[in-house]
Amino acid sequence: VDARTHTESTPLVEAAWRGHLGCVEALVAAGANVDLGCLDGSTALHSAARNGHLRVVQYLVTVGAALELPTRGGGTPLHWAASAGQLEVAECLIAAGCNVQAANAKGKTAADVAEARRFLDVAGLLRLTMRRARDG
């Protein structure tokens, strides 16, 4: 169930990338490792987050997918959601308890990534969440 492609991708990562919730559920039920990463370190949660597949993200969070696993570039699933302007996914990951202050290998937070790509709604949400965490 965790067979690998030449890029070390798995059936679960591919199903999550495409937003196929039923396939994701079936693979997890069959014992797929939800945190198994590709060559770049991305997991099923990274893939679903980037592509805005909210129901897949919610399911993966529910079954215990790691929120903070970084890719080789240090990007968390929240970074990937922010880089693609996925506001609802960012809200879901924040509600699940991800670290909004985590920095990637370039020292950039998910808010920085969202701002650089002009996803100002996502950046605003992340900055507000960071302020609230800092101020208590």
What DSSP letter does each residue of 64-126 carry, written as one string?
Answer: T--S----TT---HHHHHHHTT-HHHHHHHHHTT--TT---TTS--HHHHHHHTT-HHHHHHH
Per-residue pLDDT of the chain (136 residues; tens, 9 = 90+): 877 777 778 999 999 999 999 999 999 999 999 999 999 999 999 999 999 999 999 999 999 999 999 999 999 999 999 999 999 999 999 999 999 999 999 999 999 999 999 999 999 999 999 999 889 7
61 domain residue, yes or no: yes
CA atoms within 13 A on the CB side of 23: 14
Strands of the chain, DSSP E: none
Q: How many domains does the chain have?
A: 1
Say which CATH number the domain at 104 has.
1.25.40.20
| Within-domain flag for 1 | no
| Residue 16 belongs to domain spanning | 11-135
- 5: in domain: no
- Residue 76: name the closest of 115, 35, 117, 116 by CA: 35
pTM: 0.94
